[in-house]
């Protein structure tokens, strides 16, 4: 944001931005949003796989961020704090979705039993998507944040409120589960 | 063993590369989301990006003026209804219930009572509306009712006549729910509606409304 004052460090810059937002500066609000919206939206989309819901969760995240910005103490980076709000919104949304999808799945299962069909052997990409879908929520979040979206373990740990070691362990377990699920594809030429 | 480890690493690399296509996000629709965020927050000042700051300086004033007009009209209507009810019902009943408390003794009791009754009526309408919304099938008629209630809710919030934190928080939650209902479109998936009803339950809006609204018709003095 070209019009913004350049502060001496990221922390000071964040503090200045937060102060201006709390002071009711609309340009600062938009600057805060612009600086963080991409990572929030991408993370929501990675977790949910639905553009409409990703938009909804992103909006909810920023509404909460602006409502609770006064609570931000600067213990973590502002972007990390915003990510933690986003994760909370995403998890809440996923729990609601889970209930709904369970109802839909029971209907799909009934249809599948009525008309069984042979499917071609799925390729690695399809099998991987299924395997990621089946990861426990926490493993999936860490895997997607670290291996796909490029968050560091430090950022993940602060966003999730866990130790860095926990983040690393969860990533390791997530990768191990994916390896197991995709064991067939170790053989050369099996794509 | 080394071969197994190497295969493992190779598979991990392929997985990481392919995982980038998992739920691959499209370009972030930042302006569209920002407009909706600003609308939900009621923050007219926030609608424009920083590059248009000069224009923003004019627009909020105009919006504030419009809100002030609505405020005046709404307060007049609210007071007219409230005072009318208050006069029909007689004077008195000035004990604190968390509703507006205007200082000034007996002269101030009547408008305070009037606003209390008007607020009570509004919350009662909201409670009836949300109960219907939750239990009935989607109906485009909901949007119009929600919009009316949203306007009244915002008037009450803007006038700051409701000073206790509990009722203010309730009005703010009510505003949020009503905005979501207003934004519902006939073609929206059931999930959209379900998210709203989940929000209703999570925020316990209906039980809180029922707590605020006295049983029976709005309480009148001497009744």
Q: Which two tokens stand for residue A149?
A: 């979206």
Say whether A66 and B56 touch across the interface (CB within 8 A).
no
| A190 touching chain B per CB within 8 A | no
Instruction: State the nearest Cα–Cα gap between A58 and chain B, in angstroms.
Output: 8
- Quick check: A91 contacting B, CB < 8 Å? no
Task: Give residue A171's pLDDT.
Answer: 95
Q: Is the pLDDT of residue B56 over 50?
A: no
Looking at CA atoms only, how far is residue A66 from chain B in angstroms?
9
Nearest residue to A74 via CA among A6, A8, A157, A18: A18
The mean per-residue pLDDT over the stretch A58-74 comes to 93
Q: Is the pLDDT of residue A98 over 70?
A: yes
Of B101, B68, B89, nearest to B167 (Cα)?
Answer: B101
pLDDT band at A116 (very low <50, low <70, confident <90, very high): very low
* CA A79 to chain centroid: 13
Burial class, A146, CB count within 10 angstroms (exposed 0-12 / middle 13-18 / buried 19+)? buried
Give me the mean pLDDT over the B177-182 stretch.
79
Q: Which residue has the tokens 């502060």?
A: A7
pTM for this entry: 0.53
For the residues B109-125, what does the mean pLDDT come to? Answer: 72
Give yes or no for a contact between B218 and B117, defined as CB atoms under 8 angstroms apart. Answer: yes
Supply A43's token pair.
């993370």
Instruction: Measure CB to CB from residue B25 to each of A1, A24, A42 and give the nearest one.
Output: A42
**What average pLDDT does range B142-165 have in this prediction?**
75
B2 — contact with chain A (CB < 8 Å)? no
* Distance in angstroms (rounded) separating the CA atoms of residues A45 and A47: 5
B residues 102-161 lying closer than 8 A (beta carbon) to A: none
Distance, CA of A130 to CA of A103 (rounded, Å): 19
- Give B20's DSSP letter: T
C-alpha to C-alpha distance for A77 and A10, rounded to whole angstroms:
8
Over the stretch A160-188, which tens digit does the pLDDT of each residue have? 999 999 999 999 999 999 988 888 776 55
Top-confidence residue, A44 or B176: A44
State the smallest CA–CA distance between residue A128 and chain B in angstroms.
7
């Amino acid at each position: 944001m070209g019009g913004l004052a350049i502060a001496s460090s990221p922390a000071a810059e964040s503090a200045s931005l937060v102060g201006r937002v709390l002071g009711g500066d609309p340009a600062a609000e938009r600057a805060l949003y612009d600086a963080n919206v991409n990572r929030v939206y991408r993370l929501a989309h990675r977790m949910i796989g639905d553009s409409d819901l990703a938009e909804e969760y992103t909006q909810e995240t920023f509404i909460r961020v602006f409502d609770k910005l006064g609570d931000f103490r600067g213990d973590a980076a502002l972007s990390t704090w915003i990510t933690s709000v986003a994760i909370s919104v995403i998890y809440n949304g996923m729990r609601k979705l889970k209930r709904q999808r369970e109802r839909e799945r029971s209907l799909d299962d009934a249809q599948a039993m009525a008309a069984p069909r042979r499917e071609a052997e799925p390729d690695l990409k399809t099998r991987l998507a299924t395997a990621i879908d089946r990861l426990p929520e926490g493993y999936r979040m860490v895997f997607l944040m670290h291996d796909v979206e490029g968050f560091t373990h430090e950022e993940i740990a602060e966003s999730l409120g866990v130790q860095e070691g926990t983040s690393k362990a969860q990533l390791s377990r997530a990768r191990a589960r994916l390896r197991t699920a995709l064991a067939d594809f170790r053989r050369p030429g099996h794509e | 063993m080394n071969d197994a480890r190497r295969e493992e690493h190779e598979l991990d690399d392929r997985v990481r590369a392919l995982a980038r296509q998992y739920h691959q996000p499209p370009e972030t629709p930042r302006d569209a989301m920002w407009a909706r965020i600003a609308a939900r927050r009621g923050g007219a000042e926030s609608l424009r990006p920083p590059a248009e700051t000069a224009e923003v300086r004019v627009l909020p004033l105009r919006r504030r003026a419009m809100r002030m007009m609505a405020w005046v009209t709404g307060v007049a209507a609210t007071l007219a209804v409230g005072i009318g009810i208050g006069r029909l019902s007689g004077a008195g009943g000035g004990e604190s219930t968390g509703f507006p408390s205007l200082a000034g003794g007996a002269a101030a009791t009547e408008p305070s009572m009037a606003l209390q009754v008007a607020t009570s009526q509004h919350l009662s309408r909201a409670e009836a509306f949300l109960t219907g919304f939750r239990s009935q099938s989607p109906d485009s008629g909901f949007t119009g009712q929600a919009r009316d209630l949203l306007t009244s809710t915002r008037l009450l919030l803007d006038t700051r006549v409701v000073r206790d934190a509990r009722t203010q928080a309730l009005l703010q939650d009510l505003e949020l729910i009503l905005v979501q209902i207003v934004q519902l479109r006939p073609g929206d998936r059931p999930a959209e509606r379900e998210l709203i009803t989940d929000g209703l339950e999570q925020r316990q809006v209906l039980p809180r409304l029922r707590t605020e609204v006295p049983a029976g018709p709005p309480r009148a003095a001497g009744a």
